[in-house]
Copies of this chain bind each other. A is one copy, B any other.
Amino acid sequence: MKLGGNFFEDLGPGQRLINPVPRTITEGDVALYIALTGDRNPTRCSDEFARSLGFERAPVADMLVFHIVFGRTVGEISLNSPGNLGYADLRFLRPVFTGDTLRAETETLGWRETSKGDTGVVWVRTIGFNQRDERVLEFYRWVMVNKREPSVPTGADSAPPMPAEASLAQVSFPRITRFAASATGGDRFWEDYDAGERILHPQGMTLEEAEHQMATRLYQNTARVHFNQLQQQSSRHGRRMVYGGHIISVAQALSFDGLENVLGMAAWNGGSHVAPTFAGDTLFAWSEVLGRIDLGREDIGGLRLRLVAVKNADPSREEISLRLAGDDGRERYDPRVVLDLDYVALLPRRAVAG
């Protein structure tokens, strides 16, 4: 691995990288994840509830698995990134338990220099494995990366096509015989959500520097923009930026109120970090139901959801549109929107309500 990390020029397509530093996930990571994000899903915070669903004990939160796998890739891909941009075709393939050791491999797929010329976008595909070399997570992401030589054009211009939707062929969840909703506090099952509904999650969460730094270090994600205030002072925003994945986790945790019976994430069709977030910002979230997906199982179904996070505005108290028409007639995200994630959640069906 290069000291100081790769720059855009180093990340041309066709490289297969074995990302260093395998990581064993422990009960300590799980507790910190709860303390830093506010996660309350009983599937992963109660061994008893997890056993009632057919697990041997509570699996690790899907987003914690994502962060650990993602963290492996930062040293080679995004150490010198001013911001992660988006994701496609992300799939959680297998539950992870404390004691498992995760590692990652990443393939570079394409690159394109930005018009300004000092940065470029790099497309990669990452696979996360456990200690038995079983795949636990796969995803595409694209990320802005600084150039080593901002003034030297690279001519890089090969953006690869990204899958529009994630395959759900390999959804891994135990067969549920009975779902005790008294443990979640939710009374809505898969059949009770209809496309078009917008669920306004009622809570807000203010972020602190120590919190996002601790979360990001826990995942061993070392991207400079999150930690180095001396460097960030002279950046565009003048501040440390919050790791985008932390925003997804906080938004997901906020979404528990209104989506109490969600069992976990199966896949992401796509997602974008629409705007940066900083310490002091207060996050809110809503979920839009995009549709129900029949998984051919009688116990659980898929719910396609758009999870939107906004900052410093409470969608329960003021109407916020996802997009606004600009003066030029083009639609743009409302400037308060920071996350737009299109994902598939797993929910119990009424047949297993008990």
Contact = CB atoms under 8 A, between A and B. Distances in A.
Contact of A38 (B22, B204, B222): B222
A114 interface: no
Interface string A21-41: 111101111111011111010
Contacts of A40: 21, 220, 222
A331 to B, nearest CB: 26
Nearest to A206: B229
Nearest to A99: B47
Contact of A220 (B45, B75, B313): B45
A15 interface: no
Given A4-B316, A220-B45, A183 B20 contact: yes
> For A18, A75, A199, A282, which residue has the most chain B Cβ atoms within 10 angstroms?
A282
A164 B205 CA distance: 38
A280 B5 CA distance: 25
Interface string A249-271: 00000000110100000000000
29 contacts: A1-B187, A3-B258, A4-B316, A20-B186, A21-B40, A21-B184, A22-B42, A22-B45, A22-B49, A23-B46, A26-B30, A28-B31, A31-B32, A32-B32, A32-B35, A34-B220, A35-B215, A36-B214, A37-B217, A203-B227, A204-B224, A204-B228, A206-B213, A206-B227, A210-B211, A211-B213, A222-B257, A228-B282, A230-B312
